[in-house]
Structure 1
Amino acid sequence: MVWALVRVIKRGITNLCSSEPRVFPKSGWESIDPSYFIEEETIPTYRPEKFYPAHIGEIINHRYQIVGKLGYGSSASNRGHAYITLKIYTASTTLTREIEIYNHQKTIQSNHADSHRTHTCLVHPPLGISLDQLTPLLPGQVMTSAMVRATMRNVLAALDFLHTEAQVIHTDLQPNNMLLGIKDDSILSKFEQAELDAPVARKTLEDRTIYTSRPLPISLGTPVLCDLGEARVGTDQQQGDIMPDVYRAPEVILGMTWDYKVDIWNVGMVVWDLLKRRHLFKARDPDPHALLRSPPGEFLARSEKCSQYWNEDGQWKGAAPLPDYSLESREEKLHGDEKQDFLRFLRRTLC
């Protein structure tokens, strides 16, 4: 997928927020050697014929003009104002999971989707940089505990809506799916002007141009939970692999059915990442048992796979030795009551 910032152009005299198309430079950018892989080309599953060959300045559906590239991904390459974000999916013959989720939510909140031939597009209000992009810009490359608390209050409110009202499990909470809101729309016009003044580097191929993404500046809006591309309708008795390795909940690893509580496990993982700038578990750790102690018997009974790692009393018998550390020993940043409150919250999310 490709994310593009687009301008709403004139479509009838009543559309007061629209504007005339802009004319972008035809030269003046750095040309990248075609032999180098950049952006979406670095995705292991990249196939150029699946990606829509969008170009800056292009007008889509007689309504939207692309003014810059915000980013890219593997599956998909405020309406009242002049700018929106267009998420252009790779070519597919089936309806994507994300649109299924949006269709499911239509009775709860309004969403909009457009199609361009075989490339489905989602139209969203523009948002700022992700928390994954924000944290390296902060002192020590981590958030303060106050920033994490404020952020997670919004994330938990979003999950409360998904779980209790929409009956949806997100399944993919991570810092790059949490974006800052935009209070000052001037950063969008500055983004567009920057492309006019200093076009981004790009590589020109026979059938397409691949642009480098232009980052947005830091915005000060409320964090927003995004990307429902891996979400599931229904909050219990789900099956199948979900979540990146470093965030994967134990019931998923052990092949059990799972429910909305995998999102709560994810909350704990993300909180630790934002405070520490490192993951709580390694991607291939066999077991979080060292930090959480013996799992309860009713949990072990849910999967035959558990018998490979624990005996009937819940004691670890796996081949890999357990590391000698605890949550308390791994938490070195906070002190006193704040540390105890944090660890209590973290244990509840993980248990």
Structure 2
Amino acid sequence: MTLLLAPHRLPRLASRLRNPSTNNAFPFTPGISRPMFWAGKRASTSMADTVGQQVLDPSVLVEEETIRGYKAEDYYPVRIGEVFQDRYRVIGKLGYGTASTVWLCQDLSGQDEYIALKVYINRSKVHRELPIYKHINSLNSEHEGRAYIRKLIDSFELSGPHGKHTCLVHEALGMNMEELRDLVPRGAMDGYLVRQFLRPVLRGIQFLREDAHIVHTGQPRVRTLGCAFLTVERADIQPKNILLGVLDTSAFARYEEDEREYPMPRKELPSRTVYTSKPMLFTRGAPSLADLSEARFECPDNVDLVMPDLYRAPEVVLGMPWSYPIDVWAFAMTLWDLFEPKRLFYPQGEDGRYSESIHLAQMISIMGPPPLDFLQRSGKSKLFWDDEGVWKGDVPIPETKLEIAEARLQGEEKELFLIFIRKMLQWKPEDRKDLEDVFMDEWLLADLIEAGVVTCDRQ
């Protein structure tokens, strides 16, 4: 089977792929109503009503304070209303992590109107993100995927009470795909939405690989939830790092108005104010792949532990050298998480912690046994398989398979989807299809085939 672009539709297709932020490219989809997206505002209002004067008890741990190893002096004490570089006025807090906090700001110069400011902790000795972005900005590239990588507008160094902080100024964008998925009934997007959002992301990954020679992946970022469990954040290809674009600044103006009328809870301390985050609302622009804080330049010697636990590719689990194919694996995991109601892999033990043995056993159930020559690439494989490639791990192989795990589709569409996902879910990195083959897959282009933009010639 081959897929062909219909010649008379090429201009239209090029326009849609380069600029899917047009109203026609991202309409509201049946089953996702506008009031549902406004629920974010009502939630903020309700939360504000429950906290009285918005001041939290000093003993309550708030956001970055819950991170294991948190030290207040590592973080710059940003205050809402503060102005940086005589230009960027802080409006509200968008998020936090082990290495930074992120803030929506107004650009007082009027050049960009609104921006997202990322303020790194002062202990970040190695800044991977800024060199990556400088490299991207230096490229003279007309690759269409460049438009789907979040832009770096500016950077500067900030002197804080306990050291210097690197600050990155990004274009302001909408909510991330994980937040959008959580608004959708049953927590799974329909195929049309998934296709519209992920095709541009694939083009962005292609740009990183072909023109920038960058692997978009990430290191562990551990934070605590409550006092018992751990969750891991990373900066790589996953729903959290795909942000909706904007057609205009109305969403940011609405965000600013909401923060004035219903300020998010905060904790006042002698040396700082710790704010809670207010997420962005739904916007209708083309998606962008964000957060390159742990991206890597392509190198044959990359062997460090990367990717989120649930998204980790086999070669990463087994300590083998890794390269671009891990982004193909991560894309498959992202697709599955957005489209399917249940995760494909859930490799946690009874203690709630990640287990390599459970993860590998689940991979066997989904993909079948790994090739022996693949296992021979790593001495770590001997912990889980014998010399003949027979599983000897300390957990049994689940009695399931990919056809059972896929719970939404039937008939021909299910068959096409499984063919698509198997192009990416392969033990050997070299067996995974390249990005262009993934992009031109029949399932991913189904809406364009139906519209006559792409023709399908099955052989």
TM-score (norm 2): 0.68
Please state how far the C-alpha of 1:196 moved relative to its aligned partner: 2.1
Judging changes above 3 Å, is the alpha-carbon distance between structure 1 residues 272 and 93 closer, same or farther for their aligned structure 2 residues?
closer
Please state how far the C-alpha of 1:235 moved relative to its aligned partner: 5.2
Please state how far the C-alpha of 1:335 moved relative to its aligned partner: 1.3
Check the 8 A contact 2:99/2:124 in 1, yes or no.
no
Task: Give the counterpart letter for 2:156 in structure 1.
Answer: D
Task: State the SS of the aligned residue for 1:45.
Answer: coil
Q: What residue in structure 1 maps to residue 120 of structure 2? A: 89
Q: What residue in structure 2 maps to residue 17 of structure 1? A: none
Q: What residue in structure 2 maps to residue 61 of structure 1? A: 85
Check the 8 A contact 1:177/1:226 in 2, yes or no.
yes
- State the alpha-carbon separation in 1 of the partners of residues 408 and 315 from structure 2: 30
Please state how far the C-alpha of 1:86 moved relative to its aligned partner: 0.5
- Paired residue total: 324
Task: Give the counterpart letter for 1:63 in structure 2.
Answer: R
Task: State the SS of the aligned residue for 2:211.
Answer: helix
Check the 8 A contact 1:148/1:271 in 2, yes or no.
yes
Q: What residue in structure 2 maps to residue 232 of structure 1? A: 296
Q: What residue in structure 1 maps to residue 158 of structure 2? A: 116
Q: What residue in structure 2 maps to residue 104 of structure 1? A: 135
The partner residue of 1:343 within 409, 415, 418 is: 418
After superposition, give the CA deviation of every residue in 1:272-323 in whole Å (9 maximum; x if it has no partner): 1111243211232241111111212331121012233234443323232111
Q: What residue in structure 1 maps to residue 280 of structure 2? A: 216
- State the alpha-carbon separation in 2 of the partners of residues 213 and 320 from structure 1: 40
- State the alpha-carbon separation in 2 of the partners of residues 245 and 196 from structure 1: 38
Q: Is 1:167 paired with 2:213?
A: yes
The partner residue of 2:59 within 18, 35, 38 is: 35
Segments ≥4 residues shifted beyond 4 Å:
none
- State the alpha-carbon separation in 2 of the partners of residues 218 and 58 from structure 1: 26
Check the 8 A contact 2:194/2:335 in 1, yes or no.
yes
Please state how far the C-alpha of 1:268 moved relative to its aligned partner: 1.1
Task: State the SS of the aligned residue for 2:116.
Answer: strand
Q: What residue in structure 1 maps to residue 397 of structure 2? A: 322
Q: Gaps (5+ residues) in structure 1?
A: 1-27
Q: What residue in structure 1 maps to residue 330 of structure 2? A: 266
Tell me whether 192-201 or 246-255 shows the greater mean CA deviation: 192-201
Q: Is 1:152 paired with 2:198?
A: yes
Check the 8 A contact 1:184/1:219 in 2, yes or no.
no
Please state how far the C-alpha of 1:120 moved relative to its aligned partner: 0.8
Please state how far the C-alpha of 1:334 moved relative to its aligned partner: 0.9
- State the alpha-carbon separation in 2 of the partners of residues 72 and 231 from structure 1: 19
- State the alpha-carbon separation in 1 of the partners of residues 53 and 173 from structure 2: 26
Task: State the SS of the aligned residue for 2:292.
Answer: coil
Q: What residue in structure 1 maps to residue 263 of structure 2? A: 199
Check the 8 A contact 2:345/2:359 in 1, yes or no.
no
TM-score (norm 1): 0.88
Q: What residue in structure 2 maps to residue 24 of structure 1? A: none
Task: Give the counterpart letter for 1:30 in structure 2.
Answer: Q
- State the alpha-carbon separation in 1 of the partners of residues 274 and 62 from structure 2: 8
- State the alpha-carbon separation in 1 of the partners of residues 411 and 121 from structure 2: 50
Q: What residue in structure 1 maps to residue 367 of structure 2? A: 292
The partner residue of 2:307 within 233, 240, 243 is: 243
Check the 8 A contact 1:308/1:318 in 2, yes or no.
yes
Judging changes above 3 Å, is the alpha-carbon distance between structure 1 residues 235 and 278 closer, same or farther for their aligned structure 2 residues?
farther
Q: Is 1:74 paired with 2:98?
A: yes
Q: Is 1:141 paired with 2:205?
A: no
Q: What residue in structure 1 maps to residue 242 of structure 2? A: 178
Q: Identity of counterpart residues, as a percentage?
A: 41
- State the alpha-carbon separation in 2 of the partners of residues 93 and 127 from structure 1: 25
Tell me whether 164-173 or 308-317 shows the greater mean CA deviation: 308-317
Please state how far the C-alpha of 1:243 moved relative to its aligned partner: 0.9
Task: Give the counterpart letter for 1:144 in structure 2.
Answer: D
Q: Which has the higher contact order (CA 8 A, sep 6+)?
A: 2
- State the alpha-carbon separation in 1 of the partners of residues 169 and 90 from structure 2: 12
Q: What residue in structure 1 maps to residue 175 of structure 2? A: 129
Please state how far the C-alpha of 1:193 moved relative to its aligned partner: 1.7
Please state how far the C-alpha of 1:93 moved relative to its aligned partner: 5.8
